[in-house]
Chain A
């Protein structure tokens, strides 16, 4: 079952903040966030593990609510370079590295 992302798209002005949400109907072991620019490959942003461990970029923050099976990605003081499509990927306990990605959130940052 693929995770559900919201919103589907968001438009910001430089300097504004945004939150992208990812929710799953299954118990989660880990949540992974990637950004993809048009015509390019996805690039890693962050991993959040059950139990609280996190790994990722210094300028990006995220949360993982294990009980609600949800994660949120926080983009603060957005820059033009933040534009792209953000994907969350999830792994469930016992899934043996079978990762499922959401449909993506398209973020556009305007000057």
Chain B
């Protein structure tokens, strides 16, 4: 199993550009999520999904869109990149356990710089 894969690993954008960060998992997990991590800080939840066709906003959703058309894929779209979106982005997946999130498996991350 490849686990959770993310592409690209690194990306540099100019302010105002749009792009999509890709995330895929091959573990048939219901739950998938996107986090951003800024230097010296914890993980902040952007968007999450508990199954195909179902998405919800996390703590910091502004400026980002997601969709979940299949169980395997959960892309994150930056609509109009801003310097404040410079960060490391992690995608994660997990089964659901008794109403809560189970073990989350994180992808390797995407380092995004917005100039």
A interface with B by C-beta (< 8 Å): 2, 29-30, 32, 34, 40-44, 47, 49, 53, 55, 87, 89, 91, 96-104
Contacts and interface: CB of A to CB of B under 8 A. Distances in A.
Nearest to A45: B103
B102 interface: yes
Contacts, number: 71
Given A47-B97, A97-B48, A104 B109 contact: no
Nearest to B109: A41
A41 B43 contact: no
Contact of A30 (B90, B101, B106): B101
Q: Is the contact region of chain B dominated by helix, strand, or loop, or is it mixed? A: strand
Contacts of B31: 97
Contacts of B43: 42, 87, 89, 101
A65 B40 CA distance: 27
Contact of A91 (B42, B100, B103, B109): B100
B45 interface: yes
A98 B45 contact: yes
A101 B38 CA distance: 13
Contacts of B99: 29
Contacts of A101: 35, 42-45
A41 B108 CA distance: 6
30 contacts: A29-B99, A29-B100, A32-B101, A32-B104, A41-B90, A41-B106, A41-B107, A41-B109, A42-B104, A44-B103, A47-B97, A47-B103, A49-B97, A53-B98, A55-B97, A55-B102, A87-B43, A96-B50, A97-B96, A97-B100, A98-B45, A98-B48, A98-B58, A98-B59, A99-B48, A100-B45, A101-B42, A101-B43, A101-B44, A103-B42
